[in-house]
Amino acid sequence: MSESATALDHEGEVRESGLVEHLERRAAEFWDTVKGETERGHRYNTGRITGRDGYDEGFRLYRLLREMKPRVAVETGVCNGVSTAFLLLALERNGDGELHSIDLPEIAGEQYEPGTFWDGKGGAVIPPGRDPGWMIPADLRGRWSLVLGRSQDELRPLLEGTGEIDFFMHDSEHSYDCMSFEFDTAWEALRDGGALIADDVNLNPAWDEFTTRVGRRSQPLGSKLALIVK
């Protein structure tokens, strides 16, 4: 089977699952509830992954996990849970694996102490009264665990508990320091042949510097999403 046919089969799996329709309904709830902008002047948004209909990168992540069949996956950054839902659906279809997530949520309309969030953070928020990942379907949550806090504080303890991991995705604070820290820390825990993914790789030199240092070729998964294999 050709690569393009395989990709279409995996997209078909996602669409047949009803996940896209579920996420669209949750997004409508978000926009009915959330209006305005952050204290940093960014318009509120869902943190939704990009593509022709908003889900291309989700389909690619789904396909990657279906083919890799990771036993232990870790991600930083959850927000409303759009990309997390694609990862969890893949694990569910695989019939194996667990996803450990770290998130420092920003709630629309709440006031925060200066320095709580990175100055460069955009407008991705969760609605009042909701928890990070609230968009994830209930039947996909059995393979998921969530730690609240900064990845700089929580990633090392998490990885000490998981041991060797098969997949890591950075989608939290996109500062140079945070990205560099996460790449270095996750790489140590990643098994040979495991995948390291990063979003917004174009915002600073952290990704290019890291991939050069470890001698791996960056493979695009989207306009700002990239992959390397250990």
Q: What is the 3-state secondary structure (H, E, C) of 110-147?
A: CCCCCCCCCCCCCCECECCCCCCCCCCCHHHHHHEEEE
Q: Is the pLDDT of residue 4 over 90?
A: no
The alpha carbon torsion through 96, 73, 155, 115 (nearest 10 deg) reads: -120
Placement of tokens 């009042």 in the chain: 128
| Cβ(101)–Cβ(146) below 8 Å | yes
| Average pLDDT taken over every residue of the chain | 93
| Cβ(198)–Cβ(185) below 8 Å | no
Q: Round to whole Å and give the CA distance between 162 and 165.
A: 7
* pTM for this entry: 0.93
Of 5-9, 132-136, 159-163, 170-174, the range with the lowest mean pLDDT is 5-9
Q: Which CATH architecture is the domain 3-229 placed in?
A: 3-Layer(aba) Sandwich (3.40)
Of 48-57, 127-136, 181-190, the range with the lowest mean pLDDT is 48-57
CB-based contacts of 139, cutoff 8 Å, min separation 6? 92
Q: Is the pLDDT of residue 3 over 70?
A: no
Report the DSSP pairing between strands 98-103 and 165-170: unpaired
Burial class (CB in 10 A: 0-12, 13-18, 19+), 137: middle
Task: List C-alpha distances in Å: 103 to 2, 9, 148.
Answer: 37, 31, 5
Return the pLDDT at 5.
Answer: 46
Q: Round to whole Å and give the CA distance between 62 and 76.
A: 17
Query: Mind giving me the DSSP string for 146-179?
Result: EEES-HHHHHHHHHHHH-SEEEEEE-S--SHHHH
Report residue 43 as tokens: 């318009």
Cross-strand bridge partners of residue 75:
101, 169
Of 50-59, 122-131, 138-147, 202-211, the range with the lowest mean pLDDT is 50-59
